[in-house]
Structure 1
Amino acid sequence: MSPIEFWFDFSSGYAFLAAQRIEAVAAELGRSVLWRPYMLGTAFSVTGARGLSSTPLKCDYAQRDWARIARHQGLTFRPPADHPRVALAATRAFYWIEARRPDLAAAFAQRVFALYFTDRLDTASPEAVSRLVPEFGLEPEALLAGIAEPALKEKVRKIGEDAVARGIFGSPFFLVDEEPFWGWDRMEMMAEWVRTGGW
């Protein structure tokens, strides 16, 4: 069976919440998860939308909602004061790791989420992101060189553009058997769709 594609921007509060549950949801459904970070700005350039944290009224509500959900689920949630940060360095690092050690990619993504939303990791800083990789048995210097390579930069850009071309425009965004589900609050519907074969 095809995996659940989990598309997200590392700076998305709702994606952080989804990342806490997606592996368990997929396991219950007998599916794997294909973690797919991308730059949400790529979608915004097509849709004309703005991020929640840049939108009046929605910004205040989202911050309240994230904190409320985190309390309900027993999660620590402390985004940086300058949230959202452009997570390009973390996104490039993910794909660099995936190309070399695909077995580590999901754990790396989870670690980035955890540190950004609880420990104020600067996901925009290559140096800050590189300091995470020794715990995965990788060399910071190798990662820094890798994510600076034009081929890797082009790969990440193309992944985002291809995602938008497939109709992916938000974070989190799920595709399962080519059926799209947008948002953390669609995870239960997605699971029911898979269990029942859709409707």
Structure 2
Amino acid sequence: MPEPIDFYFDFSSPYGYVAAHLIEPLAQRHIRAVRWRPTLLGPAFQVSGNRPLGDQPLKGDYMRHDVPRLCRRYGIPFAWPEPFPIGTVAPARAVYWLWDKDPDEAVRYAKAVYRAYFAEGRNIGDAAVALQVAADEGLDAEALGQALQDPDLKARTKAAVEHAIKLGVFGSPFFLVDEEPFWGVDRLPLMDEWMARGGW
């Protein structure tokens, strides 16, 4: 069995939202699993010197045009949320906690969080909203709420973000395939070919 694809994403990333709809069918074509790894772009930007696309002249305007176009192309529900962008530490921690219990539940929750923000306009940066999404999915929101305050989970999430940066993750979505990095949802076709050909 080939190694899983590591999928790094920030819940405030609209391109990560698109990738969350496309990565698993691509992985299945190559008989690979996907490890969903939430990260936080803020610390990565401090290292790279970058800043959110929405704050950048010209690039921000392009993004606001491009993301709805991509979603129309792939039939993905989308509406610009307000506020945007937001801090997403609460749902990121939640995914790591759920992953230890049941990776399938973690993925289901991650998809629901993305949908809540980019299709339903709910502020998932608010821990109460992140917990409500869990409850809506039939998950144990009470236990999750207690876990979000656990210093060990906070430390684990911080360590995961720092490790991602050490691996070279600087944006969302970002993929590692057998340690080969691919940044951006537009790299999925290239990644598909890379796996099919065994690299080049």
Alignment TM-score > 0.5, same fold:
yes
Distance 2:87 2:71 in 1: 22
Match of 2:72 in 1: 71
**Residue identity matched to 1:83:** F
Q: CA RMSD in A?
A: 1.1
Aligned pair count? 199
Q: What's the offset of the Cα at 1:68?
A: 1.1
Q: Distance in 2 between matches of 1:11 and 1:45?
A: 17
DSSP-derived class of the 2:12 partner: coil
Cα distance in 2 for partners of 1:136, 1:101 equals: 14
C-alpha contact (below 8 Å) 2:175/2:182 kept by paired residues: yes
SS at match of 2:108: helix
Partner-residue secondary structure (3-state), 2:72:
helix
- In structure 1, distance between residues paired with 2:195 and 2:73: 26
Query: Shift of the alpha carbon at 1:157?
Result: 0.5
Aligned to 2:197: 196
Give, in angstroms, the shift of residue 101 of structure 1: 2.1
| 8 A Cα contact 1:88 1:123, kept in partner | no
Structure 2 residues not aligned, in runs of 5+ = none
Residue 90 (structure 1) aligns with: 91
Mapped to 1, the partners of 2:23 and 2:192 lie a distance apart of 10
Counterpart of 2:167 in structure 1 is: 166
2:178 is the alignment partner of 1:177: yes
Cross-structure match for 1:28: 29
Where in structure 1 do 4 or more consecutive aligned residues deviate above 6 Å?
A: none
Aligned residue type for 1:176: V
- Which residue is 1:132 aligned to? 133
TM-score with structure 1 setting the length: 0.96
Amino acid at match of 2:59: K
Task: Quote the Cα distance in structure 2 between the aligned partners of 1:189 and 1:109.
Answer: 25
Gaps of 5+ in 1: none
What is the match of residue 121 of structure 1? 122
1:197 Cα deviation after fit: 0.8
TM-score for the superposition, normalised by structure 2: 0.96
- Within-5 A mapping of 1:35-50: 35-50=36-51
Matched-pair contact (CA < 8 Å) for 2:16–2:173: yes
State the Cα distance separating 1:136 from its structure 2 match. 4.0
CA distance in structure 1 between the partners assigned to 2:80 and 2:100 by the alignment? 29
